[in-house]
């Protein structure tokens, strides 16, 4: 079968976040095979999708695997999958994906961008876990639980510089949340083209630092929209590869808008 590597939330190759994408002929193979393929691809997520019968609430079934486990929500691999569907002609127009997080929707635009419609993460302020400041190497300003689908700890830090220069202890961060830690601050440098900056660390699912994380922005969007009093914002995930995500808060739904680029198109032989 065909396997593709797609850079998501990117307008040129070797930026944004790479994801493996496999369009399957029928039902999902057994979980062990899916996990082995994801481990072989060895990107933060590999997406597997197959077409569903017509007349239902969704058009395609979609699952996401890191190199070590299946996850409940992934934005960049959803964007990558939608990009492959449109680029190959496998689907036209709005596409509805049945996922562990419910039905998520992708809508193509004439300029080549794609908008994803995801559930907004519920934010609950919590006390910073013991050892978090030491693991990050920075003192948290505030900490929030992001709910069961995202499963991360959202942490605001003092300023943009602190976020950009952070060198955390990934092993110690693993004990601070079920999936990972999102750090963020208000953007201060206007040349970045963003309203807020973030970085994401997921040692519990085999990813020390994720390049650009769509699911994290379902928590970042409501967080910063409340503070900046605007529903439509732009977030910069300031990893080495980096990527911009335009976010739109629509109540219990969050819109994520970006581009994707196919960089590898090959054949899986195993």
Q: pLDDT of 56-102, one tens digit each? A: 999 999 999 999 999 999 999 999 999 999 999 999 999 999 999 99
- For domain 124-251, say whether CATH 3.10.310.10 is its number: yes
149 — pLDDT class (breaks 50, 70, 90): confident
Long-range contacts of 70-73 (CB under 8 A, 24+ apart): 70/31, 70/34, 70/35, 70/100, 71/45, 71/179, 71/205, 72/99, 72/100, 72/101, 72/148, 72/149, 72/151, 73/99, 73/100, 73/101, 73/118, 73/149, 73/150, 73/215, 73/218
Which one of 45, 156, 160, 209 is the catalytic residue?
45
Q: What is the DSSP string of 137-185?
A: TS--SEEEE-HHHH-EEEEE-S-HHHHHH----HHHHTTSSSSEEEEEE
Assess whether 134 carries a catalytic annotation: no
CATH topology of domain 2-117+257-267: Diaminopimelate Epimerase; Chain A, domain 1 (3.10.310)
CA angle 83, 235, 129 (to 5 degrees): 110
Whether residue 246 is predicted with pLDDT greater than 90 in this model: the reply is yes
pLDDT of residue 8: 97
pLDDT at 191 > cutoff 90: no
Task: For the chain, list the strands marked E by DSSP.
Answer: 2-8, 17-24, 45-51, 60-65, 70-71, 95-99, 102-108, 114-119, 124-126, 142-145, 152-156, 180-186, 196-202, 207-210, 232-237, 243-250, 253-258, 260-267
What residues are paired with 50 via a beta bridge? 24, 61
What is the model's pLDDT at position 188?
94
Please tell me if the domain spanning 2-117+257-267 has the same topology as the one spanning 124-251: yes
Position 160 scores a pLDDT of 96
Mean pLDDT, the chain, rounded, equals 95
Question: What are the C-alpha distances in Å from 224 to residues 13, 46, 219, 220, 233?
Answer: 29, 29, 9, 6, 8
The domain spans of the chain are: 2-117+257-267, 124-251
Task: Assign 41 to helix, strand or coil.
Answer: helix
């Amino acid at each position: 079968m065909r396997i593709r590597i797609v850079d998501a939330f990117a307008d040129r190759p070797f930026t944004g976040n790479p994801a493996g994408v496999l369009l399957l002929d029928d039902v999902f193979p057994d979980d062990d095979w899916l996990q082995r393929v994801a481990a072989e691809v060895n990107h933060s997520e590999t997406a597997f999708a197959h077409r569903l019968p017509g007349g239902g609430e969704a058009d395609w079934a979609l699952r996401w695997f890191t190199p070590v486990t299946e996850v409940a929500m992934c934005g960049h691999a959803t964007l990558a999958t939608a990009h492959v569907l449109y680029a190959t002609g496998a689907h036209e127009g709005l596409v509805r994906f049945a996922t562990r997080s419910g039905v998520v929707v992708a809508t193509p635009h004439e300029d080549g961008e794609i908008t994803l419609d995801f559930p907004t993460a519920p934010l609950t302020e919590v006390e910073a876990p013991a050892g978090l400041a030491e693991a990050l190497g920075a003192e948290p300003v505030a900490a929030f639980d992001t709910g069961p689908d995202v499963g991360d700890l959202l942490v605001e830090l003092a300023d943009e510089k602190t976020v950009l220069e952070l060198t955390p202890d990934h092993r110690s961060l693993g004990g601070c949340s079920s999936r990972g830690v999102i750090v963020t601050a208000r953007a201060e440098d206007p040349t970045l083209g963003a309203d807020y900056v973030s970085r994401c660390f997921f040692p519990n699912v085999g990813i020390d630092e994720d390049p650009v994380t769509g699911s994290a922005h379902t928590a970042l969007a409501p967080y910063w929209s409340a503070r900046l009093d605007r529903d439509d914002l732009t977030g910069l995930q300031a990893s080495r590869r980096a990527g911009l995500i335009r976010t739109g808060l629509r109540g219990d739904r969050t819109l994520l808008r970006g581009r994707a680029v196919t960089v590898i198109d090959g054949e899986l032989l195993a």
